Chains A and B, each alone.
Chain A
Amino acid sequence: MFDFLEGYDVLGAFWTTVQLTVLSAIGSLIWGTVLAAMRVSPVPLMRGFGTAYVNIVRNIPLTVIIVFASLGLADIFRVTLGAADDFEALSFRLSILGFVAYTAAFVCEAIRSGINTVPVGQAEAARAIGLSFSQILWFIVLPQAFRSVIGPLANVLIALTKNTTVAASIGVAEAALLMKEMIENEAQVVLIGVVFAFGFVVLTLPTGLFFGWLSKRLAVKR
């Protein structure tokens, strides 16, 4: 029944999807945290930049960003990320760059909302006992903020997992591209659809359940 799978590297395609997801998740967590730090900083210029970045990037379709990374960044700006000759590696790296740029905006909003959940009184109490700014940040605010954003960050991660399929639009050999190729060549449209849908359910459901459990376990009870 599943002999149409022969000759196709389905697991390899999903492995690329996982790689895209993990690398983009790490990148967007870093860039998103920096953006969030800018948005809550006392420097108006940084706050303005953070706000502008989030509002602009969130409203552009991810597909536009990914296609731009390939046609604009690579061809015009010569951003080749050390893979100028290897087209496959270039598309892979450019798509990660695009995912990071896009997902970071959502990570930033999640972290910022986490910082907002910490009551101002906590920081006032910390200042009253003489803690410095960095001590307040590290010992009082961030531990509470990060625990309260596990749920929203998990949602961003799940959305990112599904969004990695957009990389198919610039030829990265991940699951969606393979599915497109397979349903065009094989007659088993429905079965192929089921196989790939199952793959994504396997990737996203455990992630959701695990982080849902984690966020309930670590939630700050107020």
Chain B
Amino acid sequence: MTSVLYDAPGPRAKRRNIILSVVFFVLLALLVWWIYKTMDDKGQLEWALWEPFTESEAWTTYLLPGLANTLKAAALSMVIALPLGAIFGIARLSDHRWVRIPAGAVVEFFRAIPVLLLMLFANQFYSSYTDVSTEDRPLYAVVTGLVLYNASVLAEIVKAGILSLPKGQTEAAQAIGLRKGQTMTSVLLPQAVTAMLPAIVSQLVVIVKDTALGGVMIGFTELLNSRGTLAAFYATVIPSFIVVAAIYIVLNFILTSFAGWLEQRLRRSKRSTGAVLGAEKVEDLNAAEIGGSYGTGQSA
């Protein structure tokens, strides 16, 4: 067990580790005790506040419909944003300057703006200039905001995915006489999408989390919004937060684990070129990378 920071512990280090463990355990126990004590004093631990979650009514009336809306908005956003992102990602790699530069500007612009502003704007825009019905408007606004932002993030993922492919793929395609469009659609894009899959799945986590913005700010009845209605009906604040947070954690943890599993699998697979755009790569694709310094070749 050697790491860059510490060696296998000797007798002194072992003693020190034990002391540290005990001190840390005491601190942690104090924190837990404080939380327990406060909740007990405020009556938040009473069974009556937790009971609703053991009955089906709280779930069928509030939580499940909210969760369904969360998933609906997230899925819609992903399905619309993916092709848009692919188009803009390819456009950013175009040989023509008049395609490359506007596409780059659009992508950078929408990535620099908070999703919440996009949602607020879309909501008001639909209400002023279109005849989308009032009950559909929050969903439309949430999806619009999420699509604009995530399409531009996905465009960067697609761009990085294509650039991560070995150069020989393009050269081989050219050697057998494929045109530029054919090279892109039949050789590069299919491989890039495979390489990008883990990054795309982990982008879903970001989308799921961002749907909660619509719940608070524009009245979209997703999970967090339903929590408010539920808490008002059953007068249960802390338990409702804990249950809702747990749902988000489980949902997103499944997505994260799936992305990790997919990445492992793609790295092992014999048919891939070895270029896999890992889940953690997504965070690196940001404004700090303007000018795109992505190397070609294998990104291990």
Contacts and interface: CB of A to CB of B under 8 A. Distances in A.
Contacts of A82: none
A34 B216 CA distance: 32
B24 interface: yes
Greatest chain A CB density within 10 A among B20, B124, B284 is at B124
Interface string B106-136: 0011001111110011001100110000000
B38 A77 contact: yes
Greatest chain A CB density within 10 A among B2, B35, B113, B224 is at B113
Contact of A152 (B109, B253, B283): B283
Interface in A58-108: 58-64, 67-68, 71-72, 75-78, 106
| B contact face: mostly helix, strand, loop, or mixed | helix
Contacts of B128: 187, 189
A42 B121 contact: no
Given A123-B5, A158-B288, A196-B117, A183 B124 contact: yes
A49 B24 CA distance: 10
Contacts of A119: 4
A212 B117 contact: no
Interface residues of A, number: 78
A61 B217 contact: no
Interface stretch (B96-104, B164-172, B244-252, B269-277): B244-252
Contacts of A189: 121, 124-125, 128-129
Contacts of B238: 72, 76
A31 interface: no
B205 interface: yes
Closest 9 interchain pairs by CB?
A208-B287, A59-B252, A61-B212, A61-B209, A63-B212, A155-B286, A162-B114, A169-B216, A212-B288
14 contacts: A43-B21, A44-B21, A76-B44, A110-B283, A120-B3, A124-B2, A127-B7, A137-B5, A151-B289, A169-B216, A175-B117, A179-B117, A205-B112, A208-B288
